[in-house]
Amino acid sequence: MANVIQTLKQRGFVDRISDPDLETIAGQRRLVVYCGFDPTADSLHAGNLVAVLTLAHFQRAGHLPIALVGGATGLIGDPSGKKDERTLMSLETVAHNVEGIKKVLAKFLSFEGENAARIVNNYDWMGKISFLDFIRDTGKHVRITEMLARESVKARLESGAGMSFTEFSYQLLQAYDFHYLHTHMGCDVQVGGSDQWGNITAGTDLIRRLGGDQVYGLVCPLLTTSSGQKFGKSVSGAIWLTPDRTGPYPFYQFWIQTEDRDVGRFLRLFTFLDIEEIAELEQLAEAHPEKREAQKRLAWEATSLVHGEEAARMAVKASEALFGGDLEGLDTSSLLEIFSEVPSFDIPAGILSNGCPLLDILVDSQLVGSRSEARRLIQAGGAYLNNRRIDELDRQVSRKDLLDGHLVVLRSGKKKYSLGKLASG
């Protein structure tokens, strides 16, 4: 059995481990490993990928992963890393988000074979326990001094913002999750981000007090880019793992824009490429940074992993489109994403029935101010329709020129674009 802890260390996944013996044990027997996901939205984002792929590495090494979606703890809200009290969500909202997250997790974990992954919802057991039973049977084994010493609690109390009893109790609920999974599913290890260290060790302590068993915690580093930006964020916000929130093209663009200083680290974390191949890509990036081959490989691997190879191919083609690449075969949603910041104009459907002079379309697009200016642009070789240079002054634009039946892309020179949209009616 491959030693997954050694693999995780080599690839940069390990920040802290509760007991160094875990590395030895991981090479000797199959472990049951769980990671919890807070259902604050109906999707996960790129910042969650480190934890998700940690589970995936455990499974690839022969261990059994459990993904816990916090239908119960989501009703409370994890205070870890938060400066202020969270807004409580309704039971219906949490239930909806849980189902969305389950679909995302299914992209990364296999649910077949001897070490098939499992997805569980802690509402299934927490929802059946009364407050009195929980306080009596579990709360008596936890010391207030230890709860106050947790980093997430200390930070809030020292900031003056304070903390409600609701959020203060969160670590006890997560500790009970670990205990429940250990008792009913033989769970040995909990993994998570480094901000979860207090919650995870609360679980290892509770299990030891309740039965004397040895279990383990492993946390991954919270990532930032070399420039100090929080990982998983773009100018437009979070990079999500579902296409309805972040499409394949902007997802691909997020990775292609990785800084040279980060690309090797991100290749180790967010792909399953061999370490040797990653080292070669790092050397290539250092020798020829202008080619951005390492970034292209990172973007391809990450996009294929999250959205599938077909979507990744479309994203590559879309990326090339901005540099004069072929636009044929791109669908409307991809084209709208590519040219989202390009000025646009409506094309009345009727004028294309018998063809409309390109000269007029260029004027309508406002790339030029008049037909004579449009004529000069074509004669100078600077007019492009769907990234193809147009030389004919009498060129007509018809429905057959519409990309995916809806759009035309006009360009003046190398970089000045306008997007024509077929108007309804």
Q: Are residues 77 and 111 in the same domain?
A: yes
Rounded Cα–Cα distance for residues 221 and 49 (Å) = 12
Rounded Cα–Cα distance for residues 6 and 134 (Å) = 38
Q: Are residues 12 and 119 in the same domain?
A: yes
Q: Are residues 34 and 76 in the same domain?
A: yes
Give the chain's domain count.
3
Q: Are residues 134 and 283 in the same domain?
A: no
- Phi, psi (degrees; rounded to nearest 5) at 404: 55, 25
CATH number of the domain where residue 19 is located: 3.40.50.620
Pairing of strands 64-69, 118-121: parallel
Q: Which residue has the tokens 């100018």?
A: 235
Rounded Cα–Cα distance for residues 334 and 328 (Å) = 11
pLDDT for the residue numbered 81: 66
pLDDT for the residue numbered 279: 97
pLDDT for the residue numbered 425: 57
Q: Quick check: is 268 in a domain?
A: yes
pLDDT for the residue numbered 85: 66
The b-or-e profile of 78-109 (16+ CB within 10 A means b, else e) is bbbebeeebeebeeebbeebbebbbebbeebb
Q: Are residues 208 and 237 in the same domain?
A: no
Predicted structure pTM score: 0.84
Q: Are residues 97 and 237 in the same domain?
A: no
Q: Are residues 137 and 17 in the same domain?
A: yes
Q: Are residues 316 and 401 in the same domain?
A: no
Q: Are residues 41 and 146 in the same domain?
A: yes
| Predicted confidence pLDDT, tens digits, the chain (425 residues) | 679 999 999 999 999 999 999 999 999 999 999 999 999 999 999 999 999 999 999 999 999 999 999 998 888 887 776 666 667 788 899 889 999 999 999 999 999 999 999 999 999 999 999 988 988 888 888 888 787 777 778 777 777 777 888 888 889 999 999 999 999 999 999 999 999 999 999 999 999 999 889 999 999 999 988 888 888 877 668 999 999 999 999 999 999 999 999 999 999 999 999 999 999 999 999 999 999 999 999 999 999 999 999 999 989 988 888 777 888 888 898 888 888 888 999 999 889 988 999 999 999 999 999 999 999 999 999 999 999 999 999 999 999 999 999 999 999 998 899 999 998 75
Q: Are residues 240 and 316 in the same domain?
A: yes
- Domain span holding position 417: 344-422
CATH number of the domain where residue 348 is located: 3.10.290.10
Q: Quick check: is 226 in a domain?
A: no
Q: Are residues 186 and 264 in the same domain?
A: no
pLDDT for the residue numbered 330: 87
Is residue 315 classed exposed, middle or buried when 0-12, 13-18 and 19+ CB atoms within 10 A define those classes? buried
Name the token pair of 221: 């580093």
Rounded Cα–Cα distance for residues 168 and 152 (Å) = 9
CA angle, 145 as apex, 144 and 150 as ends, to 5°?
A: 95
pLDDT for the residue numbered 242: 96
